[in-house]
Structure formats: structure tokens, C-alpha cells
Structure 1
Amino acid sequence: MELTTVWFIIIAFLWAGYFFLEGFDFGVGMLLPVLGRDDVERRVVINTIGPVWDGNEVWFIVAGAATFAAFPEWYATLFSGFYLPLLTILLALIIRGVAFEYRGKRDDARWRSRWDKAIFWGSLLPAFLWGVAFANMVRGVPLDADHEYAGTLADLLGPYALLGGLTTMTLFLLHGAVFLALKTSGEIRYRARRVAGLAAVAAITAGGSFLLITQIQHGRPVTWATAAGAAAGLLLAAAANRRGREGWAFVGTGAAIVLAVATLFLSLFPDVLPSTLGTGSLTTSNAASSAYTLKIMTWAAAVFTPVVMIYQGWTYWIFRKRIGTSHIPARKPVA
């Protein structure tokens, strides 16, 4: 197998891991004002992801760095053509991270309310815009013969792209609701299960429509299996949630996310960014770095990827227990 193909697979793996892990982070953030009816309950909701949210974002950083190093032409064209959506995502992630850190710095309800809104919007915007970005990558964008983006912002906001955004937003909302049902106890747990039931309907409708259109317009025989697997994962999640089996519901949403990402990348290969103008498409061949660069990167990935995964798995194991309002200590004034 060529190293360009190996690195295309690695980048797909990194994005799948990012959406699997950060997906429930986004879902929890979007559900903060819905499931947290007072400050104590909102602290419970935030604390479910408190030890892990920043580690989950490492997958995004590594995916971006791997794309830059392995496929610099892809990275350059993507970040220039998708500049405004990607800048919005980055700003939202920064504000969201600041909100997690600053929310409890003052014993002031207004102060906390402002940061809660920042967490909500800082979760919703990336959850939607990532779907828009990846839908455009699969559909293709206007690229000239020099691989430069030749379109406008309006070209990135077509019906298919907006449906992609709605799909990721509802899927992450469901993923987050199921995660909260799995990680909390008491009333929040049961509210999360009820919300997950409603989110499942939206995710199945939007996600099923998006995957079907993707398969008809851009798919290939192998992606029928991955798309069907993603749909089955959503159905499993909905059924398990109705029966109160939060663990299986989380397996279902996680499988749906991973298989949906696999569907998109398999539909894309060997292109990395198709051109709708008929010329200038970027592929794994013409967008790649030198063979020597890819070889060094492969050795580094072989050594460090298992270490990072083991460490992150250990973190989740340490913080695996449920939490509820009884675990939240009384707030002390911050000096």
C-alpha cells in the first residue's frame, strides 16, 4: 500500500476519533441550558466532560497537523477556501474553552449565565459547521487549474452542505444526550434519556437523508455497507435508549459517527478535495508531501499514537463513575 493511501486512512481515523469523542462534548454543551435547571445541575452537566474535553480536542489538533504535513496542498486549499467557516469554528472552540475555565471564577449568577451561553454557542456552531465543511469536501468545490478556491461563501452553503451541518448537529446532540444519561444519576439521567429519544428522531431523519443522498450522488459499492451500518447504529441507539440501556445506546451513536465518517472518506478517495469545475481536483497523489516526509511521519505515528490512546483510555477509566447533584460541593467564594 502506498504511503499516501496510508496517510489518507490515518487522517480519516483521526477525524473519526475526533468526532466520536468531541461529538458528545458538543452535545453536552448544547444540552447545558436544557438539562441544567439550576446552577448545581449545570455543574453536574459540565463535570461529566470536565476531565476529558480538552484531551478530546487534541484529536482535532493532530488531524490538522497530519493534514498539513502529509497533504500540504489539501491543507492550504482547504483553509483558504473554507476560511470563514473554519475561523468561526476555531473562535467558537477558543471561547468555549475559556468559558469552561472562567465560569466558576466569580460567585455571580449573571457571570455564570454569560459563560453558559458561550458554552452553548461554542458547542452548537462547530457541531453544525463541521458537517457543512465535510459535506462540501465530498461534494466538491470550485477549484481552478492551480488548485485555488474559485468560489464564494455562498458556494459553501448549498442545500447538501446545510443538510450535512444539520446531520452532525443532531447526531452530536443525540451522542451527548446518551453520554449524559450514561454518566449521571438522578433526575438529570432521566431527563437526558427523554431528550435522547427526541434527538434520535431528528438524527435518524437528517442523517438518513444525508447518507442516502451521499450514497446516490457520490458513493460506491463499499459505502453502501458503511452507510447502512451508520443507520443501524442510530436505530440501535434509539432502541437501547428506550429500554434504559445507556451503554448500548452510546455504542450505537459512536458506531454511527465512526461509520458515517468512513462513508464520507471512502466516497472521497482517491480525491481529497474534488473540483466541480472539472479541473484542479486534489488527490492523494498531487496533494501529498514527499515520500521521505511520509516515511518519517509513519514511524512517528507508529510510536506515539498507541501511547496517546492508552493514556486517554486510562483517563476515561479513572473518571468512569456516574455523578449527580449529591457529588457537587457547596460553592465557595473565589478570592
Structure 2
Amino acid sequence: MEIFILAFFGLGYLILAGADIGIGMLLPYLGRTPGERREVIAAIAPFFLGNEVWLVATAGVLAGLFPHVEEVLLAGNFVTIVALVTAWVIRDMGLWLRGRVPGARWQAFWDGAIVAGSWGLALAWGTLFSEILLGVSWPAAILPALAVAALYGTHGLAFATLRLRGHLHDRAGVLAKGSGEIGTYALTTGALVLVGVLVGLRLPLEGGSPFLVPVILVLIPFLVASQAWVWWIFRHPVTGPSYL
């Protein structure tokens, strides 16, 4: 049961937050003017904070149910974890601060922070996955890390086609010509799930205290319900810029 709980939160984060990361990586391509970038960011604005909850939950499950795995990950990949958290903070700072002060330079600076932080997140996850799956670290992990980053970017494009309209939709749909929008999103989702499962199979998943399992099982329906409610409220493609 503990393994299924970890898989639920970990794969949920990869699928949901992977779209945010991918869109942030490709923000200069998707949005080529300040107005376009605001509309592209509006595609993820209602979701990115809720998506990050899945990562926090995954970390909590690791600490509570698999303390040995947490120790192995932190001890062997400290620099990568620090880089990941730093990129996460930079990306979120960009999202929150880009619209707080008027001015093209201010917005351009924080848009750059969104792009840099998103790329940092993708490469940090790719490096961590490379260490777990292949046993290689930086700089040997650069190629597999770039492959993971490409997967994030493709997933972001697929999600953008579901959220954007007009010429922005057409720009995002460059990869969706053959299999369609939903089909492309399903393919990228499946690829992320496959990567996540392969990584999970390589972890020494020795369970810790089982007493937390009932508490987590009680909380899961509330998390799923809140996430489903947000997605239902913002289910339609965006029609203009958001509060960010």
C-alpha cells in the first residue's frame, strides 16, 4: 500500500507539474510579445500552485513512509536537490513578480527567471533520474537530462494546445498534427508515467512506519476533490491574461 501511495503522488506531480515546467521552458517560443506571454502564463496560472502540492506530498510520503529512500536521495544527490529547489524558487518568483511592477524591463527580467527556473527544474529532475536509473552523475548525465527536459517541453506543448486559442494554440500545436491534441497529451503523459515507474523500480523502497498510511488515505480524497474542482472551474481554454 505504501508503494502505491508514493506512486500516486509522485506520478501525479510528474503529469501535472510537468506541463507547467514545459510551458515555462518554451515561454519565449509560445509568447513572443509581452501580451502573448501573459496569455500563455494564464494557461497555467490556476494550476501551478496546486500542482506543487503533489511534490510536497511526495516528499512527505518519502519522509514518513520511506525514510531510507529519502536519506539515500539526499546523501547521494545533495547538489542536484539544491539546484532543483533553487530553480523551483526562481521559477515561482518569476511567476509572482512579473506583473507586480509596470515596465517592460521588469517583466522581461522575470520572464527570463521563469524560463531559467523551468529549464533548471527540468534538467535537475533529469539529472536526478539519470543518477537513479543509470548510475551516472554530472557531467555524464547531461544527455539523459536533456532527454528528460525535451519530454517536459513536449508535455508542456501538448498541454498548451488544450489551454490556448487562436494563433497561440496553432503555435503550441506544432507536434499535435498527427495524433491530435488529446492524443498528444496522452502520449506525453504516458511517457512521463513510464519514466516515473522506471525510477520508482530502482529505488530501495523499504517501508517505514505503517501508522501514517490511514492518515494519508483519509487525506487523499480531499486532495483529489480540490484538484478536480479547480480543473472543472478552469476547464475552458484561456481567453486573455490572468492575475499573473
What range describes the TM-score normalised by the shorter chain of this pair?
Answer: over 0.9
Q: Could you tell me which of 197, 217, 221 is aligned with 1:302?
A: 217
Residue in 2 that maps onto 1:109: 104
Residue in 2 that maps onto 1:3: none
1:100 and 2:95 are equivalent in the alignment: yes
Identity rate, percent: 32
Q: Deviations over 1:281-321 (max 9, x none)?
A: xx334xx42xxx21x21101211112101210111111011
Residue in 1 that maps onto 2:234: 319
Residue in 2 that maps onto 1:246: 181
Residue in 2 that maps onto 1:124: 119
Unmatched 5+ stretches in structure 2 = none
Q: Are the aligned partners of 2:133 and 2:198 in contact in 1 as well (CA < 8 Å)? A: no
Q: Could you tell me which of 2, 8, 31 is aligned with 1:36?
A: 31
Residue in 2 that maps onto 1:178: 158
Q: What's the TM-score once normalised by structure 1's chain length? A: 0.69
Number of equivalences: 243
Judged with a 3 Å threshold, the aligned counterparts in structure 2 of structure 1 residues 248 and 312 are, in CA distance, closer, same or farther, namely: same
Q: Could you tell me which of 59, 70, 74 is aligned with 1:79?
A: 74
1:61 and 2:56 are equivalent in the alignment: yes
Residue in 1 that maps onto 2:167: 187
Q: Could you tell me which of 201, 205, 208 is aligned with 1:284?
A: 205
Counterpart Cα distance in 2 of 1:96 and 1:107? 19
Corresponding letter in the other structure for 2:151? L
Q: Could you tell me which of 248, 255, 267 is aligned with 2:190?
A: 255
Q: Output aligned runs, 1:264-279, within 5 Å.
A: 264-266=199-201, 268=202, 272=203
Residue in 2 that maps onto 1:210: none
Structure with higher RCO (Cα < 8 A, 6+ apart): 2
Unmatched 5+ stretches in structure 1 = 1-5, 141-154, 198-240, 273-282
Residue in 2 that maps onto 1:27: 22
Aligned CA-pair RMSD: 1.9
Q: What's the TM-score once normalised by structure 2's chain length? A: 0.93
Corresponding letter in the other structure for 1:284? L
Q: Which structure's CA Rg is the greater one?
A: 1
- Structure 1: which 4+ aligned runs deviate by more than 4 Å? none
* Secondary structure at 1:97 match in 2: helix
Corresponding letter in the other structure for 1:173? G
Q: Are the aligned partners of 2:41 and 2:241 in contact in 1 as well (CA < 8 Å)? A: no
